[in-house]
Structure 1
């Protein structure tokens, strides 16, 4: 029988919207859409795609660290991007910098808006804890 282990950043949005940042079920970790929030849950870097992408990746890393895994355990990512065509180059560059030689499957959606005014990127991931690091 699989056990479920939920993780939260302990920011107000988790209780306001009723969700967890991640849930580990068996060998898989499903990570909610991460975005450019600081430790207090305040949104950072409005309309700055590169800065938001870096902060979003840092927040994914916090989740991974909690579960004792690395970026190399990410098997899938879904990116939601405002102005996808305009931000495609920076998205690709940021992905290569973040993942190095690791290549998870990836899907990007162009969207008209996200939760916060000025938010231009959100990323959800699936992580397999059994992959070699």
Structure 2
């Protein structure tokens, strides 16, 4: 028996340019590509404002979760990439904790020298288990 894969895309230009999907569901697991701060038309949001970029990035993560009928409580892992991590960690930590509330997924936070877009300061990827109680 083979498992079917389901993809999700926002329709932003870089999906076809880079050749990837925002998320891929395989069975009860959803692998979410690194989300970033953009609006529904793909325009970057929050240049120079780390807190706004983080909030918008989490809002985009919510849109992916919603597509698959998932909740934040079903996120089992996040991967967070941050430019200038030492400068932004004290802003990031409470925003990440607030986003998940009582739920505490595993998380890897890594400082990076650069991200895909010149203004981009944060990117958040996730793994979701749909078979967990929401």
Q: Which residue of 2 aligns with 1:86?
A: 87
Which moved further from structure 2: 69-78 or 110-119? 110-119
Give me the whole-angstrom Cα distance separating, in 2, the residues matched to 1:119 and 1:46: 7
Q: Which residue of 2 aligns with 1:39?
A: 40
| Structure 1 position 84, deviation (Å) | 0.5
The TM-score normalised by the length of structure 1 is 0.98
Q: Which residue of 1 aligns with 2:69?
A: 68
Confirm or deny: 8 A CA contact 1:35 1:52 kept in the other structure. Answer: yes
| Structure 1 position 52, deviation (Å) | 0.3
Q: CA RMSD of the aligned region, Å?
A: 0.7
Q: Which residue of 1 aligns with 2:105?
A: 104
Q: Which residue of 2 aligns with 1:2?
A: 3
Structure 2: runs of 5 or more not aligned: none
Give me the whole-angstrom Cα distance separating, in 2, the residues matched to 1:117 and 1:4: 32
4+ residue runs over 4 A deviation: none
Q: Which residue of 2 aligns with 1:116?
A: 117
Give me the whole-angstrom Cα distance separating, in 2, the residues matched to 1:10 and 1:58: 16
Give me the whole-angstrom Cα distance separating, in 2, the residues matched to 1:75 and 1:81: 20
Give me the whole-angstrom Cα distance separating, in 2, the residues matched to 1:90 and 1:3: 39
1:80-106 superposed Cα distances (whole Å, 9 cap, x missing partner): 001111111111110111000000000
Structure 1: runs of 5 or more not aligned: none
Confirm or deny: 8 A CA contact 1:46 1:117 kept in the other structure. Answer: no
Give me the whole-angstrom Cα distance separating, in 2, the residues matched to 1:115 and 1:40: 17
| Structure 1 position 55, deviation (Å) | 0.3
Q: Which residue of 2 aligns with 1:16?
A: 17
SS at match of 1:95: helix
